[in-house]
Amino acid sequence: MKHAVLLRALGSLIALGAAAAIWFPAMHLFFRPNMDDYFAVKSGISPKARAIAAYQLDLWKDPGKRTREVARMRTSNAEWDFMGRTFLVLSLANMALHEPDRQEEYLKVMDRIIEETIRFENDKGIYFFLMDYAREGKFSSDQPASIFIDGETALMLGARRMVRERTDYKPMMKQRIDRLVKMMTKGPVLCAESYPNECWMFCNTVALATLRISDVLDGSDHSAFLKKWVATAKTKLIDVKSGLLFSSFGLDGTPLDGPEGSSIWMVSHCLQIVDPSFANDQYARARKELATTVFGFGYAKEWPACWRGSPDIDSGPIVPVLDASAGSSGLALIGASAFKDSVYLKALITSLNFAAFPNKQNNTLRYCASNQVGDAVILYSLVNGPLWDKVLRAKKAS
């Protein structure tokens, strides 16, 4: 009797294993995207991008809805409130360049975001957009200043001005640019603090991209500083084993965290308008070390095999065995899109369709497993291109 039960159980396991062997490799076919739905074949906005943008724009038309969404994010991380604004402004800048006939609509929302963000900073101080531990230390500058806040605010101003000049934004941007340069040149590795004695590569490369944009807009010339920064980074801010840039380090360049996926994908994208060769190198290394595809599903790890860190608010929870990181996988969409890595991009979107639970209502789309900043990152990955291209064209023409 016992043998019969065991045989039946074994038979069931074999059948289950056989079904899994057939089902798992084919499961991705149910979620594999038609890429034309996500990326317009010709210039313009794809249907999925337009639907995500519609939901994001609705948040800025409905104060109550936006307040609830922001409150949900700020419960976890005040930075997400700030970064959600940045990625939406960048997305709308690209959309405005894609669709000149809708520029007025997009610029109006961009201006609302920028003006409210600066007003909050003025009224509530920089700590309003920082995590609580920022208050536990002391910034090296005379007045508390974070390259995270200054860099992304200047980037929003610059992106808006790249679409259409707004003269009152010019001195506001210049003030930020001057402060960025002062903070960065003061540091021994030409990087400034996001938090007291904590420099983030993400924020510093955002600042570099913003300096390049300011050169295009205002005729300044930061090329010598940018060249020196890249040379310094290559010698002092690179993990020797992987060749990837550190994600965070002290003012003196001492690494605090090694290479991280929640940093390097955006870092390599920002470097595209600073040093394209270095950008390509960093993306290729990140692709090799962090990008994974299993049965047609794509995701990204948070750390290369040579470095193991601890999960945090940026990485999100790490899926056991697979080592998949939500934060790294989301930002990998930007990297794959920016570097035209169509194979990996398709695998990532397949996972997005499977694991992020898309919720389409009327003409809008959001992802239930995400939030406003996550959806803004996804939107940016679907529309980026025109803004950076315009910067690079201007650089060649100068």
Helix H, strand E, coil C: the string for 66-133 is HHHHHHHHHHHCHHHHHHHHHHHHHHHHHHHHHCHHHHHHHHHHHHHHHHHHHHHHHHHCHHHHCCHH
- Asked if residues 326 and 260 have their Cβ atoms less than 8 Å apart, the reply is no
User: What pLDDT is recorded for position 315?
Assistant: 64
- Tokens 């010598």 belong to 224
User: What pLDDT is recorded for position 25?
Assistant: 61
Instruction: Identify the DSSP state of 29.
Output: G
Q: Contacts by 357-364 with C-beta closer than 8 Å and gap 24+?
A: 360/51, 363/50, 363/51, 363/54, 364/51, 364/52, 364/54, 364/55, 364/58
Crossing angle, helix 223-236 and helix 201-218, to 10 degrees? 160
Q: Strand 318-319 and strand 297-300: pairing?
A: unpaired
Mean pLDDT of 78-99: 96
pLDDT band at 313 (very low <50, low <70, confident <90, very high): low
User: What pLDDT is recorded for position 15?
Assistant: 38
What whole-number percentage of the chain has pLDDT above 70? Answer: 91
359: closest CA among 347, 369, 344? Answer: 369
Tokens matching residue 358: 């898309």
What is the rounded CA–CA span in Å between residue 376 and residue 368?
A: 13
β-sheet bridge partners, residue 300: 291
Is the pLDDT at 5 greater than 50? The verdict is no
What is the rounded CA–CA span in Å between residue 334 and residue 205?
A: 15
End-to-end CA distance of the chain: 86
Mean pLDDT of 56-71: 90
- Asked if residues 294 and 329 have their Cβ atoms less than 8 Å apart, the reply is no
User: What pLDDT is recorded for position 33?
Assistant: 83
Is the pLDDT at 27 greater than 90? The verdict is no
Count the neighbouring beta carbons within 10 Å of the beta carbon of residue 320.
7
pLDDT band at 53 (very low <50, low <70, confident <90, very high): very high
pLDDT band at 3 (very low <50, low <70, confident <90, very high): very low
Cα angle 206, 209, 212 (rounded to 5 degrees) comes to 155
- Asked if residues 111 and 92 have their Cβ atoms less than 8 Å apart, the reply is no
Q: For the chain, how long is the longest CA-to-CA vector?
A: 87
pLDDT band at 102 (very low <50, low <70, confident <90, very high): very high
User: What pLDDT is recorded for position 29?
Assistant: 54
Is the pLDDT at 65 greater than 80? The verdict is yes
What is the rounded CA–CA span in Å between residue 121 and residue 153?
A: 10
What whole-number percentage of the chain has pLDDT above 90? Answer: 75
15-29, 87-101, 166-180, 238-252: segment of lowest average pLDDT: 15-29
Count the neighbouring beta carbons within 10 Å of the beta carbon of residue 92.
30
Q: How many CA atoms lie within 13 A of 184 on its CB side?
A: 29
Is the pLDDT at 201 greater than 80? The verdict is yes
Is the pLDDT at 11 greater than 80? The verdict is no
β-sheet bridge partners, residue 298: 293
Mean pLDDT of 214-232: 98
Instruction: Identify the DSSP state of 341.
Output: -
What is the rounded CA–CA span in Å between residue 279 and residue 273?
A: 9
What is the rounded CA–CA span in Å between residue 30 and residue 196?
A: 47
> Model confidence over 112-121: pLDDT tens digits?
999 999 999 9
Mean pLDDT of 314-320: 73
Is the pLDDT at 225 greater than 90? The verdict is yes
Tokens matching residue 349: 């979107």
20-34, 74-88, 244-258, 327-341: segment of lowest average pLDDT: 20-34
What's the whole-number average pLDDT of the chain?
A: 90
- Tokens 């084919």 belong to 26
Mean pLDDT of 345-365: 92
What is the rounded CA–CA span in Å between residue 232 and residue 159?
A: 27
Is the pLDDT at 31 greater than 90? The verdict is no
Is the pLDDT at 62 greater than 70? The verdict is yes
Is the pLDDT at 289 greater than 90? The verdict is yes
pLDDT band at 58 (very low <50, low <70, confident <90, very high): very high
User: What pLDDT is recorded for position 76?
Assistant: 85
Residue 318 sits at φ, ψ, to 5 deg, of -95, 125
Would you call 294 helix, strand, or coil by DSSP? strand
Count the neighbouring beta carbons within 10 Å of the beta carbon of residue 110.
28
CA-to-CA separations, 107 to 36, 111, 119, 346, in angstroms, rounded:
26, 6, 18, 31
User: What pLDDT is recorded for position 295?
Assistant: 85
Residue 298 sits at φ, ψ, to 5 deg, of -105, 145
Is the pLDDT at 184 greater than 90? The verdict is yes
Is the pLDDT at 2 greater than 60? The verdict is no
- Return the higher-pLDDT residue of 189 and 319: 189
Tokens matching residue 360: 């389409």
Please state the separation of Cα 374 from the chain's center in Å: 9
User: What pLDDT is recorded for position 274?
Assistant: 98
What is the rounded CA–CA span in Å between residue 127 and residue 261?
A: 26
Is the pLDDT at 309 greater than 80? The verdict is no
